[in-house]
Structures are given as C-alpha cells and as structure tokens.
C-alpha cells in the first residue's frame, strides 16, 4: 500500500511528483558460461515519497543505496519494474518512449561529471540548444536569443557559446549542463551529484546558482548527493537511503536535531564539521563492518548487521516504512507505532 505521510497529504494540491512503491532490479550474471548464475540486484526496493512544487528533496546515502537509480527511474531513463511515478497526475511508468518524449520538456537532469555529460564535439551553444532543436519550439533569431539568455542565466558570457567543452573548467561545464536543463523551462530537475566532482570554492557557486534558479523559476529539485552537509544545506526535506530503501525522511532541521534511524545518526556523526572547537566535542559513532553488496542484502532489516542498536527481531523482521508524526517517516523496528 502506498505510504503518503500525513504532513504531505495536507499539501496535496501542491504536489508535483508522487513516487509510489518504486522498485528497480537489475539481473546480474556472473561466472563462466557453464556455471552462469543470475542474481537479482535490488537497486531500488519499494521506495515512496512526494515532491512539492518548487521544493528541494535531498536524497542522501552511500554506495549501493540506489539514489542515482531512483533519480533515473523517475525520469524513466531506467524503466522501473514496479510502482508508479505520477508527474502532475500522469503515471510516467505507463507511457511508451514515444509518448514520453514531448513530456521530457518538463523534467530534466543534471549529471555529476561535467566532462562526461557534454558531447565533446558539440559547441556549448549546440549543447544548450539541443533541446530547443529537438522539440522544434524555437528557431531563427529567437533561438540565438534564447541561447544567449540561458548562458547569461548561468553566469557565462554569450561569446562562450562557440567554445568546446574541453575549453571550459569543471565548474563552467556544470553551468552548461544546468543551462541545457533549463532550456525548456522544466518544473523539475533531478540533480545527480552535481557538485561532487567540483572544487570546494566552485561548489558554493553552483549551489548558489541552483538556489537562485529555484527562487526565480520555482523549479523543484531532487538533489542526490553523498555529502550530507551539502544536501542539508540545499534541501527542504531530506531522505536517507540504505541498500535500496528509504530509512528515514524528514524536514532538514528535524534531521539534524532529532534523527531517529541509527544509520542516520551514524551518518551524521561521520560527517566532520569545519570547526575544531565543535569537533572536539563530538565522537563519531563507529559502524561495524562494510556496506553489504546489494546483490546479497542481509535478511530482516538490511541495516541490522552494522546497527549499534540492533536487537533480536531485527535479523528476521523487515521494518515497515511509516510516518511517526510531523512529516517524519522512518523505517526501523525501534519505532513500531506512530508517536502522538
């Protein structure tokens, strides 16, 4: 049954995207041809959440948690095995590739590696204008103007349109990626680790740019990253993922002040704060062991082998993702019922 936390239902009119029970598995074959084994890699396992108009939902987690896959599944760049993705009421999972194409003007993606996400043989102007050319909405003089406008919006000079990607710095290439995503005035952008590959001082520029664009155009973001400090800064609400499941989702302040899930607490304590005085008072919670492979998720609660608070049922019973009040949802046996 789909879970829509009660806080979100009050904002029903302003919901842009509803993700319900999204699942994506990959079949991985290993071994030589005689002993071929096909294993199921549960990249995304029954994930549900909503994103409101103009809201930023942060999605954070470590390797194998499935956050990138979630982003791509929403945009139907991977087709989900199960579940629904309702965009302005339409279920994208039911549409064919051809039907999706005109809709793609409304939702876009920015990638992590700015040097990979641009075709090295296209000039900057070609790359940014590609959506305009494909959807044939703007041409001639208006096309040139739009390209100049987009370059300006992301803080680049119009003459840079003739340059090739390899002539730009990493931060500038990321701006080009953002300009391309903005070309068709989308209402939603998946930001897939947009600042992870950039230097610290450039990260701030891009984060500010994304913030400004959101304020100016009311774009909703799904901000996927592994850096919890960045995610907390830019998001309104944050979802924490582990091995394909959402373990906690709540408002960004609530996440810091009152984390419920043991993994969230460990993740928060693992992130160092750039302030020696504060750091002197913190001790990181050490998790045992390594992150398990998504090919062999542990039984019961997927986090239990590493959990400092694990108790008997955790190894056999899988917790249910539920709302515990105030828009705070968690998936942990420590919280069996909703709080008043």
Q: Map the footprint of other proteins across residues 7-26, applying CB under 8 A.
A: none
Q: How far is the CB of 302 from other proteins (least distance, A)?
A: 14
Binding segment toward other proteins, per CB under 8 A, in 111-119, 137-145, 312-320, 328-336: 111-119
Q: Which among 201, 203, 177 is positioned nearest to 190, based on CA atoms?
A: 177
Q: How far is the CB of 25 from other proteins (least distance, A)?
A: 19
Sign of CA pseudo-dihedral 258, 57, 231, 215 = negative
Main-chain dihedrals φ then ψ at residue 113, nearest 5 degrees: -95, 100
**6 Cβ contact list (under 8 Å, min separation 6):** 323, 325, 327
* Cβ distance to other proteins smaller for residue 12 or 271: 271
Residues 281-300, interacting with other proteins (CB under 8 A): 282, 284, 286-287, 290-291
Of residues 172, 187, 264, 329, which one binds other proteins by CB under 8 A? 172
Q: Is 57 in the site for other proteins (CB under 8 A)?
A: no
Binding segment toward other proteins, per CB under 8 A, in 112-120, 138-146, 308-316, 327-335: 112-120
Q: Is 316 in the site for other proteins (CB under 8 A)?
A: no
* Cβ distance to other proteins smaller for residue 19 or 124: 124
Q: Is 203 in the site for other proteins (CB under 8 A)?
A: yes
* Cβ distance to other proteins smaller for residue 38 or 201: 201
Q: Look at strands 245-251 and 237-242 and give their pairing.
A: antiparallel
Q: Is 271 in the site for other proteins (CB under 8 A)?
A: yes
Of residues 118, 138, 210, 314, which one binds other proteins by CB under 8 A? 118
Q: Which among 271, 242, 273 is positioned nearest to 70, based on CA atoms?
A: 242
Dist. CA 240–CA 226, nearest whole Å? 10
Q: How far is the CB of 336 from other proteins (least distance, A)?
A: 26
Q: Is 269 in the site for other proteins (CB under 8 A)?
A: yes
* Cβ distance to other proteins smaller for residue 50 or 264: 264
* Class of residue 330 by CB neighbours under 10 A (exposed 0-12, middle 13-18, buried 19+): buried
Of residues 12, 142, 278, 317, which one binds other proteins by CB under 8 A? 278
| Cα 149 to the center of its chain, rounded Å | 27
**Contact present, 66 and 294 (Cβ < 8 Å):** yes
Q: Is 137 in the site for other proteins (CB under 8 A)?
A: no
**Contact present, 107 and 184 (Cβ < 8 Å):** no
Of residues 99, 199, 325, 336, which one binds other proteins by CB under 8 A? 199
Q: How far is the CB of 277 from other proteins (least distance, A)?
A: 7
Of residues 31, 89, 102, 140, which one binds other proteins by CB under 8 A? 102
Q: Is 166 in the site for other proteins (CB under 8 A)?
A: yes
H/E segment holding residue 246: strand 245-251
Q: Look at strands 220-225 and 237-242 and give their pairing.
A: unpaired
Degrees, nearest 5: CA angle 326-244-197: 95
């Amino acid at each position: 049954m789909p879970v829509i936390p009660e806080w979100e239902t009050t904002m029903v009119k302003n919901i842009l995207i509803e993700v319900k029970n999204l699942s994506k598995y990959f079949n991985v074959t290993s071994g030589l041809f005689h002993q071929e084994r096909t294993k199921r890699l549960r990249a995304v396992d029954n994930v549900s959440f909503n994103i409101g108009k103009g809201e930023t939902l942060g999605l954070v987690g470590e390797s194998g948690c499935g956050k990138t896959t979630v982003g791509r599944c929403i945009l139907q760049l991977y087709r989900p095995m199960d579940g629904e993705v309702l965009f302005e009421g339409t279920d994208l999972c039911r549409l064919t590739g051809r039907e999706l194409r005109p809709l793609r003007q409304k939702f876009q993606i920015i990638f992590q590696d700015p040097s990979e996400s641009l075709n090295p043989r296209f000039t900057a102007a070609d790359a940014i204008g590609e959506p305009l050319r494909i959807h044939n909405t703007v041409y001639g003089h208006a096309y040139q103007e739009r390209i100049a406008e987009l370059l300006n919006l992301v803080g680049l000079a119009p003459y840079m349109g003739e340059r090739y990607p390899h002539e730009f710095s990493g931060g500038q290439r990321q701006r080009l990626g953002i300009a391309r995503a903005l070309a068709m005035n989308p209402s939603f952008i998946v930001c897939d680790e947009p600042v992870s590959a950039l230097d610290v001082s450039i990260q701030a520029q891009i984060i500010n740019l994304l913030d400004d664009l959101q304020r100016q155009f009311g774009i909703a973001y799904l901000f996927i990253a592994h850096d919890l400090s960045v995610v907390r800064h830019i998001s309104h609400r944050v979802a924490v993922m582990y091995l394909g499941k959402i373990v906690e989702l709540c408002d960004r302040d609530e996440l810091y002040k009152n984390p419920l899930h043991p993994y969230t607490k460990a993740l928060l304590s693992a992130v160092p704060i750039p302030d020696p005085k504060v750091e002197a008072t913190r001790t990181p919670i050490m998790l045992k062991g390594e992150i398990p492979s998504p090919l062999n998720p542990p039984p019961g609660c997927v986090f239990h082998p590493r959990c400092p608070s694990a108790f008997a049922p955790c190894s056999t019973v899988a917790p249910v993702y539920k709302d515990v009040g105030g828009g705070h949802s968690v998936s942990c046996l420590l919280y069996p019922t909703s709080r008043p």
